[in-house]
Chains A and B, each alone.
Chain A
Amino acid sequence: GAVVSQHPSWVICKSGTSVKIECRSLDFQATTMFWYRQFPKQSLMLMATSNEGSKATYEQGVEKDKFLINHASLTLSTLTVTSAHPEDSSFYICSAGLQAGETQYFGPGTRLLVL
């Protein structure tokens, strides 16, 4: 149990386009999901907290208009990178918290390359 999936697993796009990444909890409901970003040879950095049915909470320095988060159901959160630029190239990872319990489970990640 406690499986989190992400789609796509990797994406290449042109500069200026928008990219949507999906995060799904496959076998449990997640009121709260988290989005992280990881640059090469660095640790994970929390970008935002996504709550079902409400606006996401962004960490300091993360542009909410650039990284749009929608958490429309208890099993799906989406991250849209708008007007992507090469510096947005990174490994994007989501996590979801079990409603009954104290643990977050992570997705496999989405590798984004902006040309």
Chain B
Amino acid sequence: DAKTTQPPSMDCAEGRAANLPCNHSTISGNEYVYWYRQIHSQGPQYIIHGLKNNETNEMASLIITEDRKSSTLILPHATLRDTAVYYCIVSTGRWGKLQFGAGTQVVVTP
């Protein structure tokens, strides 16, 4: 069973920020929070990951709560090309297995 819970779908207006929530209440101390996305008929694309601190890169920001039981992925300015299924996964790092749940289908509309 997936260790994370995400809403099944979200709509977002183009140009606006998209905030994707994820609950991982059973996360262990050595587990990272990873975010990937999958555009239709393609392999998953790495977005960002974090352990305790908030992280930001050119694609997104990751906000992890202090108790690490939930996190939020922020796409600062959504574009139509951000339409995809977004997966939040907890794992022990590079040797850890990635267990994919159902993810959140994000649709960005003009």
- A32 lies within 8 A of B95 (CB): yes
Please, which residues of chain B bring their CB within 8 A of the CB of A108? 42-43
Using a CB–CB cutoff of 8 Å, the interface residues on chain A facing chain B are 2, 4, 6, 32, 34, 36, 43-46, 49, 91, 93, 95, 97-99, 101-109, 111
Please, which residues of chain B bring their CB within 8 A of the CB of A111? 41
Using a CB–CB cutoff of 8 Å, the interface residues on chain B facing chain A are 32, 34, 36, 38, 41-46, 49, 87, 93-95, 97-103
Give the secondary structure class of A's interface. Answer: strand
A32-B94, A98-B94 given; A105·B99 CB < 8 A: no
Extra contacts, 9 of them, besides A6-B43, A44-B44, A111-B41 (Cβ < 8 A), are A91-B41, A93-B44, A95-B44, A97-B94, A101-B94, A104-B98, A105-B46, A106-B36, A109-B43
